[in-house]
């Protein structure tokens, strides 16, 4: 008896712009024998803060670019809709004249 299960699609990696960015903590501090000093902890937090700021700025730029693209798309669609309405009005006029 053969199963009727559909064949699985091969896995493909997402393009880099769709991949999740993950922060890597250098040298996993949890495994170290010596506890972190306040200065080291502060430096790590500052580095993490800087990385988060860079990621936020990048996400903000992408969002703004997408917003601009959406606005341009909406403008084009509104223009096309206006042209289609004008064309429809012309066809309606022609149809009325033909009926008369």
Structural domain harbouring 93: 41-99
Q: Is residue 63 in some structural domain?
A: yes
Q: Is residue 76 in some structural domain?
A: yes
More confident position, 29 or 68 = 68
Cα-based angle 28, 29, 34 (whole degrees, multiple of 5): 145
Q: Is residue 57 in some structural domain?
A: yes
What's the structural domain count of the chain?
1
Structure confidence by residue, pLDDT tens digits, 48-88 = 999 999 999 999 999 999 999 999 999 999 999 999 999 99
> What is the spatial distance between Cα 81 and Cα 60, in angstroms, rounded to a whole number?
31
- What pLDDT is stored for residue 6 in this prediction? 62
Per cent of the chain over pLDDT 70 is 72
Q: Is residue 30 in some structural domain?
A: no
Q: Is residue 22 in some structural domain?
A: no
Q: Is residue 59 in some structural domain?
A: yes
């Amino acid at each position: 008896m053969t199963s009727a299960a559909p064949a699985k699609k091969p896995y493909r990696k997402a393009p880099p712009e769709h991949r999740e960015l993950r922060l890597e903590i250098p040298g996993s501090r949890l495994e170290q024998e010596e506890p972190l000093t306040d200065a080291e902890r502060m430096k790590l937090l500052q580095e993490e803060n800087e990385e988060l700021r860079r990621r936020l700025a990048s996400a903000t730029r992408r969002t703004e670019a997408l917003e601009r693209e959406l606005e341009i798309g909406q403008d084009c669609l509104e223009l096309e809709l206006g042209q289609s309405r004008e064309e429809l009005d012309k066809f309606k006029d022609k149809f009325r004249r033909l009926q008369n």
